[in-house]
A = this chain, B = another copy of it.
């Protein structure tokens, strides 16, 4: 196979990108099954008429993406797919509502500063007692409540939050960009609406709801814990998986 014949692959113009997408195409289409030894670097060097560094750049990226495994002296081999990992995109609620073509409205229900309770510290995974800001908000899609938000902000980590009333801006967009965050953990589960949630979302008590909880850290410091509750009909999380992608 010559360079010209593979020039229709969608790699981003540069040669190592094309080598990368050529090979990943072969793997993902099944032409090269798991365990198959892909050509040596020096073979690809002659196939693509380029230097070994260029081939190496492509193969190193494939290895980092987990599509192939490289063994010294033996060559590079197609790995079998193992973990069903998917990229879950969790957007700002305003974006999600507007994607539905509905007008978005935000409402702050409550805002309290308090010394962290035992439950607060457990939710934030906070060691020491300190001040937290507790917020309760609602997000509307058209006239209907779309999501209910319960949030704790660690004031030791984000002291400037105390000056914000969160009447006009939701805490999510306020925090993003203002606080660098290095780690987040999401928990997703189904619950039955309790009376408080049912009233806030205008649904029956006991109705199924999707709960997304997110904990965020920045350099080991807990920043915020937020619980979004969606009525069952109103929301579906979508996660896509596409291996490699260079």
CB distance from A81 to the nearest CB of B (A): 6
Confirm or deny: A102 has a beta carbon within 8 angstroms of a beta carbon on chain B: no
Task: List residues of chain B with CB within 8 A of the CB of A85.
Answer: 87-90
Assess whether B29 is in contact with A190, with CB atoms less than 8 Å apart: no
- Number of interface residues, chain A, beta carbon within 8 A: 55
Assess whether A241 is in contact with B29, with CB atoms less than 8 Å apart: no
* A84-B80 CB under 8 A given contacts A180-B30, A238-B186: no
In the complex, A91 Cα to B191 Cα: how many Å?
22
CB distance from A31 to the nearest CB of B (A): 9
Task: Scan residues 223-246 of chain A and give those whose CB is less than 8 A from a CB of chain B.
Answer: 230, 232, 235-243
* A86-B83 CB under 8 A given contacts A192-B232, A210-B188, A238-B186: no
In the complex, A209 Cα to B214 Cα: how many Å?
20
* A33-B180 CB under 8 A given contacts A235-B189, A238-B187: yes
Q: From DSSP, what is the main secondary structure of chain A's interface residues?
A: strand
Assess whether B176 is in contact with A191, with CB atoms less than 8 Å apart: no
From A81, A83, A188, A206, residue with most partner B Cβ within 10 Å: A188
Confirm or deny: A207 has a beta carbon within 8 angstroms of a beta carbon on chain B: yes
Confirm or deny: A9 has a beta carbon within 8 angstroms of a beta carbon on chain B: no
Confirm or deny: A129 has a beta carbon within 8 angstroms of a beta carbon on chain B: no
Confirm or deny: A218 has a beta carbon within 8 angstroms of a beta carbon on chain B: yes
Name 6 interchain pairs, CB-CB below 8 A, sorted by A.
Answer: A82-B176, A84-B176, A86-B88, A185-B241, A189-B210, A191-B208
